[in-house]
Structure 1
Amino acid sequence: MRALARKGKSAMRRLYRGYNRRKMLNAPPPSTRKVSILLLHAYGMGGTIRTVFNLASYLAKEHDVEIVSILKEAEEPFFPVDPRVKFRFLDDRINPSSDPLRAMLSKMPSRIIPKEESAYHRFNLWTDLKLARYIRSLDTGVLMATRPGLNLAVAQLALPNVITIGQEHVALRTQAEPMQELIKWRYRRLDALVTLTKADLRDYRETLPKKPKKLARIPNAVPPMTGGISKLDAKVAIAVGRMTRIKGFHRLITAWETVAAAHPDWTLRIFGAGPQEENLAQQIVEAGLQGKVELPGPTSDVGAELEKASIFVLSSRHEGFPMTILEAMGKGLAIVSFNSPHGPKEMITDEVDGLLVKPRTNANLASSIIRVIEDEQLRRDLAAGALETALTYDVDAVGEKWDALLAELLARRNGTYVRPQPAATDASASPASGPDGPPATSDGQAPA
């Protein structure tokens, strides 16, 4: 029976490949004219959504850009939308169709998205059908996915003439083992994999047995924000994010008990919403921090709220590339962050444009916040350093990296790509590879 099953799977693979080849015969040539970006919930709130909107706005200058949202669970977008960017929704859960097939398939679990994907519960067999149909409807252009489950689906289902890009917003090492195994063997089918941090890029280089044609690190850009630079005179610290355990707001509130005891005239505001919101509100009451810790809810105007604060605090134990740090830097706040191994550690130079808290304990977090409160010169020096760092993440500077990537992927497809020659090195220079591991070749791969 097993041998028969193996033969059946092999036959299906041959049929699938043959179908792809027939589709290619009539397909237009590869192109970057149209860029489609897959998101889970485009009208929701979150760092990934905000960064995708930012990228889409930049790309819309030269490309036809469409954001394809798996779900529609709100009537209006939470974040501002560039009118040049189009939207498509695969599963409208506000005004669902009366299709009996939808009603039946929506009750069945997803078969495309792995169970270990953190958003697995948001998918079902109906979203599988809509997602597969959409991916298979594309015969050219660029298709970009923005989370592991969608990256895997694109790698498996996209037609050969479509240029495929997987974008990772979370660190490889935080993925469950079964997910990492799928990533190891399926990501090689992508044209490119883009990480946000050097550390994550290094992990993928070392982990993937066979790699996509291009491995690259392109950070997020500072998004446009309203208002001006913080004057640093408000006795307010701010934190922003979805209220989940991984964001560590419960730890921040515990640390604030110490801060409030030393500086009762300072206020902590935590903006966001999520499953931990009620627990956090109860924790504030139990700690006697009413009026000292506020939960104003989510805000679509992050810039205006950052401008009203002097200190930004990030209490996550793990982060990919937190946009909130970039936004706080762009507003000239003094930043205090746990020394998370990927994003914050790369984004912040300790004592220059922020403070990295290590070891990552509640007591050390409280101590660092108090230090910034009590030392005004340090607060202003960190804020000035943050403004300088934010300039290196300007949307045009980051956008040019995406322009270069799309141009290279297209050149690879049409046979015009010429690998740049490595720059000549000084014979007296040390051959050591440096903190990021082996030097990368022009296509982002480590040399053999």
Structure 2
Amino acid sequence: MKIRYLLLHAYGLGGTIRTVFNQAGAMAELGHQVEIVSVIRRRNAPQFGLDSRVKIVTLVDQRERILADSLGRKVWRRLRGKMVPWGEFAAEYFTERVEKAVIDYVSGLDDGILVTTRPALNLISARRTPKGVIRVAQDHMNLAAYPEPVRKEIARYYGRFDAVVVLTKTNQREYRALLPRTPVVRIPNAVHLSHEPSRQTDPIVVTAGRLVRQKGYDLLIPAFARAAERHPGWQLRIFGSGPKKDHLASLIEEHEMGDRIRLMGRTDRLDKELANASIYALSSRFEGLPMVMIEAMGQGLPVAAFDCPTGPADVLTPEVDGLLVPPEDVDGLAAALDRLMGDRELRLRIGAAAAQTALNYAPDVIMPLWEDLFSELLSREPIIDTHWTS
């Protein structure tokens, strides 16, 4: 079968890009003809490894375009496209030129499967991809996280898809309520699990993700500071880069934690860092499916997490393979960290259960679900919803 994945920026960083690269590689390994289409390109090479059998093409090459922020904002106001609603998290990328390039590309297709990977691309595909193409929309976040203008457009146009694929049961229920006549299938992201388990000997709490408001590190820092008062040997290591770095550094100093909380920057050896840690903390305000959390679980790390929408509660069973506390409850997160930091046997028990849970997200479990879905869609038979029902 011929499968095309449409990404905003295949040369960037992020969980969606890594997930799509993994999916594309798995489909190519199964013998399918696979192509990744990058709407824009701002780097010379992809940041993630990709199967050599997968071709990458670009619609708008922006490697030579360097604009100051203020100029970029003026260009957006003057030349913004018309299909992507303001409030879509990447709306500023969709100038008239970029939007037209996407419209021209999808309008010119006449066969195979087109998988689009964010609301902006989904909305364009729903309105412009010919019906002779199998159209699949992925949601790598969750419906409730989008601003109202985006949800309104989703409700208006997503019913045109052959299938909408989501990551969690919670998001599946929300989409089914919104789109009762559209197949909404749950297929979680596959996670490549390391075979290097945590030794549970180093007093380190670890977390990883973009330094942005969504990840809630401004909540994790005071939570850790409170728990650390009772556990003087422990450290918190935050891996990632992003616009909130200076703010978080100031917050660390405000809590007088400069010697115990470290902003580590990006790393290409996260599996080693997880193996050196004893607890994984997830402090997000919202998630899609927290892949790094599942990777940490696969290495036997117990998790202390906010029960944010969505993701953690769709993966974790409280007190079995992780500890969940109410969303944005700094005191609750501090208490959960305190429990784990002070009880190695608890960490070992929860970590062992977490490693078993993570096996449900291994590629050999998840990737056949994608091939089965594509085969069903190509047969043009009604979807039998057996995907990820256990």
TM-score of the superposition, structure 1-length normalised? 0.80
Aligned-partner Cα distance in 2 for 1:361–1:303: 28
Given candidates 150, 154, 162, the residue that maps to 2:121 is 150
Check the 8 A contact 1:51/1:223 in 2, yes or no.
no
Given candidates 36, 42, 57, the residue that maps to 1:73 is 42
SS of aligned partner of 2:79? coil
Aligned-partner Cα distance in 2 for 1:250–1:268: 13
Which residue of structure 2 aligns with residue 118 of structure 1? 89
Which residue of structure 2 aligns with residue 403 of structure 1? 371
SS of aligned partner of 1:114? coil
SS of aligned partner of 1:165? strand
The 5 A counterparts of 1:211-360 are 211-212=181-182, 214-223=183-192, 225=194, 228-358=196-326, 360=328
Which residue of structure 2 aligns with residue 128 of structure 1? 99
Check the 8 A contact 2:170/2:310 in 1, yes or no.
yes
Which residue of structure 2 aligns with residue 88 of structure 1? 57
Aligned pairs, number: 379
Aligned-partner Cα distance in 2 for 1:64–1:224: 26
Distance 1:202 1:138, change over 3 A: same
Aligned-partner Cα distance in 2 for 1:329–1:254: 24
Distance 1:359 1:48, change over 3 A: closer
- The one-letter code matched in structure 2 to 1:281 is A
Aligned-partner Cα distance in 2 for 1:189–1:379: 47
Aligned-partner Cα distance in 2 for 1:317–1:419: 33
Which residue of structure 2 aligns with residue 430 of structure 1? none
Identity of aligned residues (%): 40
SS of aligned partner of 2:50? coil
The 5 A counterparts of 1:179-198 are 179-198=150-169
**1:238-266, Cα deviation, whole Å (9 max, x unpaired):** 11111111110000011121122222211
Aligned-partner Cα distance in 1 for 2:383–2:81: 41
Check the 8 A contact 1:79/1:300 in 2, yes or no.
no
- The one-letter code matched in structure 2 to 1:70 is V
Check the 8 A contact 1:51/1:323 in 2, yes or no.
no
SS of aligned partner of 1:281? helix
The 5 A counterparts of 1:404-423 are 404-412=372-380, 417=381
Which residue of structure 1 aligns with residue 346 of structure 2? 378
Distance 1:366 1:141, change over 3 A: same
**1:212-238, Cα deviation, whole Å (9 max, x unpaired):** 3x221111111254x611111111111
The 5 A counterparts of 1:420-435 are none
**1:423-444, Cα deviation, whole Å (9 max, x unpaired):** xxxxxxxxxxxxxxxxxx6699
Distance 1:71 1:378, change over 3 A: same
Distance 1:348 1:443, change over 3 A: closer
The 5 A counterparts of 1:22-41 are 33-41=1-9
Check the 8 A contact 2:193/2:298 in 1, yes or no.
no
Aligned-partner Cα distance in 2 for 1:206–1:293: 43
Which residue of structure 2 aligns with residue 64 of structure 1? 33
Residue 167 of structure 1 pairs with residue 138 of structure 2: yes
Which residue of structure 2 aligns with residue 20 of structure 1? none
- The one-letter code matched in structure 1 to 2:181 is K
**1:104-134, Cα deviation, whole Å (9 max, x unpaired):** 9886112221112111012211111211121
Contiguous gaps of at least 5 residues in structure 2: 67-73
SS of aligned partner of 1:337? strand
Moved more, 358-367 or 395-404: 358-367
User: 1:278: Cα distance to partner?
Assistant: 1.2
Contiguous gaps of at least 5 residues in structure 1: 1-32, 98-103, 421-440
